[in-house]
Structure formats: C-alpha cells, structure tokens
Amino acid sequence: MVSLAGRDGMTVRLFYNQSVLGPGAADRGGTHYLGGGRLRPDITLTIEQAGRILDATVIECKHSSDPSYLLGGYHEAVLYRWEYTDNLTGWPKAILVSSGPPMGGRVRTEDDVVAVDWNAWPPEPVIDSICARVQHAALAAGVSGAVGPGGGRSENPAIRDLG
C-alpha cells in the first residue's frame, strides 16, 4: 500500500491486489454458496478522510495483446464497477489497463468503465478526474483551503461536466 496524506487529513491510498472495499453481491453470494474467495482488483485507489472512504477507483491490469483475454479483463472491470458501487462515486469507476496494442477507442467520460493501453496510461481525463475528486471530497468534508484555481473543480471541460 502507498499512502499520500495531506496536512488537511485527506488521504489518497493505492492498494495492490487487496480486497479493501466492502464485499458486494458477488463476494457475498460466493461466500454463501461456495465458501468464500474475495474479489481483488489489481489496484484500488481510495480517497479518505478521517479513516472513512469517500471515493474509490479500481484498476484491472492485463499483460497481454490477446483480444479475448483483454475483453475478459474489461468484463472483470465491469464486475468490479458493480461489486463496489457504494464506494465508486466518481468517474471513472473502473479502468482496464493493457500492455497490448493501442485500444481501438479513446477514453469516453460517459463510460463508467474505461480501457487504455499502457502507452496512454494515465490518460489526462483520468488524472484530472482523480485530482478533482480529491478536491471535491475535501470540500464536502469541510476541509478549509481545499479550493484551488478552478474553484474546487477541474479546469478540464470534459471533467467539469462530470460534477
């Protein structure tokens, strides 16, 4: 785990291959019917205040250029999006990152789950969104001095529209 803490108490954490978000329907059903086995995204990014998760994003990584394997990874990211829906409040909710060839389409802000190849990682809209989400969480938590040059919102027009 990597943790970045601000003086204001806002904390951004990156977890590798750990179940840090509460179980959702797939985990609860798997435990009930099959005896367990938690879903573990490759990376979970959390935005926290006073030990409480305010927002999160999950990232699934695939080291492959096989289209069917990558499609399976995208479907896994979609499952994570729904499994952890209570904690995934911003955009994007889940991301597939591939080591394979460039993705066929650009990142669309209207998609809750996006896919990007390693050479395009991290795409600017994702970075803008994460920064805006940290700032938004700080404002919502009443952290003073959290408003930056954008008045608490991203300067990127694609991100401003995300609310």
Annotated domain spans of the chain: 2-123
Report the pLDDT value the prediction gives residue 154, as an integer from 0 to 100.
Answer: 42
Report the pLDDT value the prediction gives residue 144, as an integer from 0 to 100.
Answer: 55
Check residue 120 and report its DSSP letter: G
Q: Which residues of 6-32 are buried (b: 16+ CB within 10 A; e: fewer)?
A: eeeebbbbebeeebbbeebebbeeeee
pTM of this prediction? 0.82
pLDDT of the chain, 163 residues: tens digit per residue:
899 888 778 899 999 999 999 999 999 999 999 998 899 999 999 999 888 999 999 999 999 999 999 999 999 999 999 999 999 999 999 999 999 888 888 899 999 999 999 988 888 999 899 888 888 877 777 765 544 444 444 444 443 343 3
Report the pLDDT value the prediction gives residue 43, as an integer from 0 to 100.
Answer: 96
Residue 43, Ramachandran bin (φ over 0: left; ψ between -120 and 50: alpha; else beta): beta
Give CA–CA dist 79/61, Å, rounded. 14
Report the pLDDT value the prediction gives residue 69, as an integer from 0 to 100.
Answer: 95
Return the CATH architecture of domain 2-123.
3-Layer(aba) Sandwich (3.40)
